[in-house]
Structure 1
Amino acid sequence: MNRADLHTHTTASDGKQSPTDNVRLAAEAGLAAVAITDHDTVAGISEALDAGARYGIVVVPGVEISTAENGTDIHILGYGISWRDPDLLGRLEELRSVRGKRNERIVARLNELGMPITMEEVAAEAQASPRGDGSIGRPHIADVLVRRGFAADMRDAFDRYLGEGGAAHIVPPRIAPEEAIRWIHEASGVAVVAHPGLYRKDDLVERLLEFGGADGIEAFHSDHDEVAEHRYSRMAAKAGKLATGGSDFHGTRQGVVFHGPIGSRTVDASIVPRLLGERAKG
């Protein structure tokens, strides 16, 4: 297939598979390209690029930057970034420190709700797999909730506690989406609004396309239905911007693939040169 999955996570952030595993899975799925887009880190890119050379598959260096708008988490994907750029690395390190404080607040809230888990348990869950920078995310907290019997599985943990509207959902002070877009552009990358259907704020998405500098929308995503995919494809086309897509693969937890398997959401690989262009720097 001449297809590309442009949204996957690895053990460099909160995924369960190594960067090499993601590239291998993409090759086994018959894909031509795969993007590595870990949360607020580029620690998995070097390994993935090496694996891409071995498996004969194009690896798009990427990142998923955490931002917020009026109390809603908004994620911005960066593609073809100069991933060794010192300014970008410093900025991402600052974001990871915010993530750490958020995790502590989530655990404290869960304690208030009668679930006496600890940050030590969460850290131990994260350390079960080697990570490039020690990043801890909500899936690690979910793993502890499941193991302790407070949630049936990953999806249940997010629906009831950790996702938007959940009892322990915390949105810490974050940079604005426009700031993340600027960072990506300054790192010679292409900025795309991730999974817009999860925000239920189409006016915000349109604003980022028209005035915020976003280069595209992730129209195709594991949590988008067909109606949403058509809507965001049309929105991107109307704005003259890119429509990208990907599985948002995080690996398998408790037998459930989160969000979807690699290759389950793809776009034509002809988009990849537009994401890389002259931007693929080492």
Structure 2
Amino acid sequence: MASEFDLHCHTTASDGKLSPADLVLRACERGVKTLAITDHDTVEGYREALPVAQQQGLRLIPGIELSTVWGGINVHIVGLNFDPDSDAMREAERDQLEARKQRSVIIAEKLSKKLRHDIRLEDVQALGGGSEGSELVGRPHFAQHLINEGLVPDMATAFKKYLGAGKAGDVKASWPGTEQAVKWIVAAGGTAVMAHAHMYKMTRTKLRACMDDFVDAGGTAIEVAYGLMDSDQQGQMRSIAKDYGLKGSCGSDFHGPNKFGLDLGVMPQFPKDIEPVWADWN
């Protein structure tokens, strides 16, 4: 269904295909009334989009998706409705940018050695949008560079051969613990949301342990309506929300037009028995 709220999406400030301005215009065309741009580890997308959103009459919420590690597993925490200029959020952006820089250097070195082809990091960064966020490159940017260099025919091959799990370009960044990300968001006056928890390869027991730590650190919401999640997955997230007394958030996780039909505002219907994260926003 189409939702008027989309609180999880990406722009060229991280790994999205549309510029912040174009994303806002698309959201308006799609009937989205309240939007949060949650680029990976940066608030630049929000900052760039805000004037356009104000001009279009779209309610734009400050957002970010922070990369973290819990129990050796990459876990993403979405921050919503915080002060983007707070010391805590500026610190989060600085620390995450440094972690991404270090990771990118290692990926470039490993791919260069594996392919016996000079992978220049500045060329990969040029694919990141050309703004401050261009330094926030990830594996999709490396994959696109390999395509541009004629080293692989498509994105799927790039990940299958060089960037997927266990391959040369699968480099683990020195991300902070999940608790640290939650504390940054809370200190910035925002709401910490457990992102797409149904996608983590955890046992039920391990996921509950992760949620225990998330809540203890100050996390207060979980995504209960997300992109193309199925009814079983949504039921699991709804149960967690109820068991922990968490509010629910929603989002498409839109990165750009794709063949699967996922677009801004596309997600399952929001559960009626879960309090939405926006309930107490002014």
Match of 1:247 in 2: 252
What residue is the counterpart of 2:263 in the other structure? 261
- Give SS of 1:90's match: helix
What SS class does the counterpart of residue 113 from structure 1 fall into? helix
Taking the TM superposition and a 5 Å limit, the aligned residue runs for 1:154-173 are: 154-173=155-174
1:188 is aligned with what amino acid?
G
Looking at structure 1, the residues matched to 89 and 255 of structure 2 have their Cα atoms a distance apart, in angstroms, of 23
- Partner residue, 1:230: 235
Q: 1:261 offset after TM fit, Å?
A: 2.3
In 2, the alpha carbon distance for the partners of 1:49 and 1:121 equals 29
Read off the aligned partner of 2:11 and give its amino acid letter. T
Paired residue secondary structure (1:8): coil
Return closer, same or farther for 1:144/1:115 CA change in 2, 3 Å cut-off: farther
- Cα distance change, pair 28–194 in 1 and its aligned pair in 2 (3 A): same
> CA separation in 2, counterparts of 1:146 and 1:59?
34
Deviates more, 1:171-180 or 1:237-246: 237-246
- 1:75 is aligned to 2:104: no
Change (3 A) 1:95 1:75: same
Structure 1 residue runs of 4 or more that deviate by more than 6 Å after TM superposition = none
Report the residue type matching 1:4 in the other structure.
F
CA contact (8 A) 2:107 2:168 kept: no
Q: Which residue of 1 aligns with 2:130?
A: 130
The one-letter amino acid paired with 2:100 is: R
> What amino acid is the match of 2:25?
R
Residue by residue over 1:204-237, the C-alpha shift from the partner in whole angstroms, topping out at 9 and shown as x without a partner, is 4423433422212223334634432222222222
Cα drift, residue 14 of structure 1:
2.4
Instruction: Write the distance in 1 (CA, Å) between the matches of 2:7 and 2:225.
Output: 10
- For residues 142 and 31 of structure 2, what CA distance do their matches in structure 1 show? 33
The one-character-per-residue Cα deviations of 1:25-59 (angstroms, maximum 9, x if unpaired) are 11111112111111111112233222222222221
**Paired residues for 1:27-176 under 5 Å:** 27-114=28-115, 116=117, 117-126=119-128, 129-134=129-134, 135-176=136-177
Q: Which amino acid aligns with 1:277?
A: W
CA contact 1:107–1:118 (8 Å) conserved in 2: yes
2:214 is paired with a residue whose SS is coil
Alignment of structure 1 residues 146-225 onto 2, 5 Å = 146-201=147-202, 202-213=204-215, 214-222=219-227, 224-225=229-230
Q: Secondary structure of the residue that 2:115 maps to in structure 1?
A: coil
Give distance in 2, aligned partners of 1:38 and 1:264: 18
Choose 238-247 or 203-212, whichever is displaced more: 203-212
Alpha-carbon shift at residue 259 of structure 1 (Å): 9.9
Q: Is the alpha carbon distance of 1:20 and 1:172 closer, same or farther for their aligned partners in structure 2, counting shifts above 3 Å?
A: same
**Structure 1 gap segments, 5+ residues each:** none
- For structure 2, the residue ranges without an aligned partner over 5 or more in a row are none
Q: Root-mean-square deviation (CA), in Å?
A: 2.7
TM-score by length of 2: 0.84
The residue type equivalent to 1:81 in the other structure is F
> Secondary structure at 1:73's aligned position in 2?
strand
CA distance in 2, matches of 1:52, 1:207: 39
Q: Measure the CA separation in 1 of the matches of 2:160 and 2:8.
A: 22
Report how many residues are paired.
272
**Matching of residue 14 in structure 1 with residue 5 in structure 2:** no
Superposition deviation, residue 192 in structure 1: 1.0
**Farther-moved stretch of structure 1 (11-20 vs 171-180):** 11-20
What one-letter code is carried by the residue in structure 2 that aligns with 1:83?
P
Cα shift readout 1:82-102 (whole Å, capped 9, x = no counterpart): 111023202311211110111
Letter in 2 for 1:271: P
Shift of 1:67: 0.9
Identity %: 33
- The secondary structure found in structure 2 opposite 1:122 is helix
